Structure 1
Amino acid sequence: MISFDNMIAGRLPYGGIEPARFDGELSDRFRDAFNAVEARAAQGSSGFRELPRDRALAKRTLKLAETLKGRFDDLVVIGIGGSALGTIALRDALLHPGWNELDRRDRAGRPRLHLMDNPDPDTVSSLLGRLDPGRTLFNVVSKSGGTAETMALFLVVWDRLTGSLGPGRACDHVVVTTDARRGALREVAESRRLRSLPIPESVGGRFSVLSPVGMLPAALTGIDTGAVLAGADGCLRRCGSAELQENPAGVLATLLHAADVDGGAPIQVFMPYADRLRGFAYWVQQLWAESLAKAVGTDGEPAMTGPTPLPAFGAADQHSILQLLMEGPRDKA
């Protein structure tokens, strides 16, 4: 359910969307957009929508997780952008808030979870210095297989592992998640005989959390991946209607699109009040920005368009940015 009373004209001291538009122009606008998206999906451009029902890939991921179960005290995911933000969102939402501070018994033998994305030498060396190489698993994640930051971090980690364990044992401490056939990381995985899992070709990196990108770390740390995938499938079904009032995702998209193109509010604020949704807000920021910012329009003409997502966190940001949001320029939704 989405509550949008505060975006309706009459509830706001200024502007707002006229209720009659929902049964008329906005419904027609959404129906056209929905049908265009469905047509693209039919051509195979939205592979992420198939992930909740890809039982073979889910089974393969769980099988590897079971093989690695109990062997490691720490799991380090090396990735950036879509190769990390979805996993961070899952970690924050579904693991114990103090997961890495729990002892091994309270974690039921599952590993601590670390994300290594920004190649800052101080942060990286500090983390690696705290870990026992012989009890640490590194999951290197890149859809393209050539992400510069990820590959640089992998080289640092590989040097540390081989220096401590030797090349043979080092291979047992790395899992690669990348494109099934292409990219430098795929070549590295095959040449060094590293364990690996595929990201389907039709799945873009920022949409890959329901692939092994997110499901392997989730399974290793004890998150019920079956429930996650079932929930995602349920959301797909709920959002499968071209009728605006029956589609919660459609309502959200339509409201924010109208705020941007009709209401002069191109800044869209995502402000969860639950700490568990902090990672989700940053993930939404990436999904929004990378999906909707376009230099060229669908007609091939220059566009330079896209709403600006702004993550914030209540109640802390009520005491930092809220005054700007409430009393500043009327350019935010």
Structure 2
Amino acid sequence: MALLVTGRGPDESLGEVLRARIDATINRFRDENVVERIWNRDPDLWKPLDPDRAAVIRNRLGWLTGVDAMDAAELELTSFAEEVQADGYTDAVLLGMGGSSLAAEVFAETFGVAEGFLRLHVLDTTDPVSITHLRERLDFGKTLFIVSSKSGTTIETTSLFRSFWNEVKAVLGDDKAGAHFVIITDPGTPLETVARERDLRRLFTNPADIGGRYSALSYFGLVPAALLGVDLSTLLDRALGMVNSTRDEDPYVDDSPLWLGAVLGEAARMGRNKLTLILPPAIESFGYWVEQLIAESTGKEGRGMLPVEGESLATPAARARAQLPYGTDRLFVHFHVGDAADADLDAQVEALADAGEPVVRLWLKDAYDLGAEMWRWEFATAVAGIALGVNPFDEPNVAESKRNTGRLLEVFKRDGTLPGGPPSFEADGVAGFGPAGALSLVEVLRRFF
């Protein structure tokens, strides 16, 4: 269940204006058949009459039906987990970055490890200390490595794969190494080729029309979940309930995924673009996943939302004493799980609403409702993109960063050093190398943000 609480306290006009804008947006979406058009993969919802982007958008909406496909694959996944258990594996190491690892991390931190299943270690870094610390705790003979990359070319992931592959071969021999590696990737990638050439234990080919940050309820999230012993039947049933709320019920009512997207989009258009997540300890890690989904999907073309997760709330009185008001740019989302009450947190949220801050409240039956919430937030993000006029499925800066990184690595391979130049400023032991013309650290930060 979802509810928007606002309009109390000193600024009741905020609630009236925001609610009116949300209602108007939902009515417009109803008139324009937005939900039906989303299901029909209509790219004009996000970038009208733009043929260059249309094909990309159509090829990023596989998450809409991905839960149906995974529901059909549930037996395959549970059988795989049982097979690995039977073969004596005790640990799984996921090698992946961003969207290829965040859902697995949420499942691990939320559900832990069921009895007899595998401990999951998420290695989403190239920090040598972290890698060495993990390596020293592993028994390669009982460890399964999950190599997770949509493109099959992620530099960090493939580098970790090569390193651990060579180590496992050295310890166990060429003939046994392949049984300790699983690959999750899209069809036709270099990693798919490697999996077949080396006869690895298992290859999971994910639908190519599911983008990385929308892949939580696909093989990328559910293979690790199965190895942890998460009840996939319950998780996927909850997700299907949310999916069907947009297919079989009125998708324009309050509490729907579309409603949440309208709230997010219209709040951001009013300047309430700091999406502040308030999560109880039971599902605290869910904030990591929402943060990436929202930030990478909406933060482009000078628009979007900035997710804030992990921040301690301050009461209005405490903020007043410290003279640190939240300002007028916050939208709070409070998640409540089950019957467990957190009186202190609830009181702080009530104080926010009483002070006139807009607060969305979401009620979860238990942690397995995360299946439903993941799909709700994916759909809501797509809807918020419509309201904001941005394409929530591309990643221009991610692709640009990968190209720039590849270019720098080629220079390093050729010259043995990274390209550089004189700093634009040096002060108090800090050297700045951009942007051009910045003469102080403050100026660098001001230009960057």
TM-score, reference length from structure 1: 0.83
- Tell which deviates more after alignment, 16-25 or 208-217: 16-25
Partner of 1:299 in structure 2? none
CA contact (8 A) 1:41 1:47 kept: no
- Give the C-alpha shift of residue 13 in structure 1: 2.7
1:132-158 alpha-carbon deviations (Å, 9 max, x no partner): 111111111111111111111111211
Of 161, 166, 170, which aligns to 1:163? 170
- Give the C-alpha shift of residue 166 in structure 1: 1.4
Partner of 1:25 in structure 2? 24
Structure 2 unaligned residues grouped into runs of 5+: 44-57, 332-449
CA contact (8 A) 2:59 2:208 kept: no
CA distance in 2, matches of 1:311, 1:276: 15
Partner of 1:40 in structure 2? 41
Corresponding position: 1:172 with 2:189: no
Partner of 1:110 in structure 2? 117
| AA at the equivalent of 1:199 | N
- Give the C-alpha shift of residue 114 in structure 1: 0.7
CA distance in 2, matches of 1:268, 1:229: 27
Of 197, 207, 226, which aligns to 1:200? 207
Change (3 A) 1:292 1:81: same
Question: RMSD value over aligned CA atoms?
Answer: 2.7
| Residues 118-197 of structure 1 aligned to structure 2 (within 5 Å) | 118-179=125-186, 181-194=187-200, 195-197=202-204
1:167-194 alpha-carbon deviations (Å, 9 max, x no partner): 2211111111111x22221121111111
- Tell which deviates more after alignment, 208-217 or 48-57: 48-57
1:258-290 alpha-carbon deviations (Å, 9 max, x no partner): 1111x2122111121x22322210100111112
Change (3 A) 1:210 1:267: same
- Give the C-alpha shift of residue 243 in structure 1: 4.9
| AA at the equivalent of 1:18 | E
Change (3 A) 1:246 1:329: closer
CA contact (8 A) 2:59 2:210 kept: no
SS of 2:205's partner is strand
CA distance in 2, matches of 1:172, 1:232: 32
CA distance in 2, matches of 1:18, 1:232: 32
- Give the C-alpha shift of residue 3 in structure 1: 2.2
Bigger Rg, which one: 2
SS of 2:15's partner is coil
1:222-246 alpha-carbon deviations (Å, 9 max, x no partner): 1111111111000112244565324
In the comparison of the two structures, how many residue pairs are matched?
307
CA distance in 1, matches of 2:27, 2:323: 31
Of 277, 291, 304, which aligns to 2:283? 277
- Give the C-alpha shift of residue 199 in structure 1: 0.7
| Residues 61-72 of structure 1 aligned to structure 2 (within 5 Å) | 61-70=77-86, 71-72=88-89
CA distance in 1, matches of 2:135, 2:177: 15
Corresponding position: 1:304 with 2:299: no
Identical amino acids, percent of aligned pairs: 29
CA distance in 2, matches of 1:88, 1:228: 16
Partner of 1:318 in structure 2? 313
| AA at the equivalent of 2:268 | D
Partner of 1:51 in structure 2? 66
- Give the C-alpha shift of residue 319 in structure 1: 6.1
Partner of 1:79 in structure 2? 96
CA distance in 2, matches of 1:258, 1:76: 41
CA distance in 1, matches of 2:170, 2:151: 28
Change (3 A) 1:226 1:14: same
CA distance in 1, matches of 2:216, 2:209: 13
| AA at the equivalent of 1:212 | Y
- Give the C-alpha shift of residue 57 in structure 1: 3.0
Change (3 A) 1:182 1:12: farther
- Give the C-alpha shift of residue 329 in structure 1: 2.4
Structure 1 unaligned residues grouped into runs of 5+: 100-106, 295-302
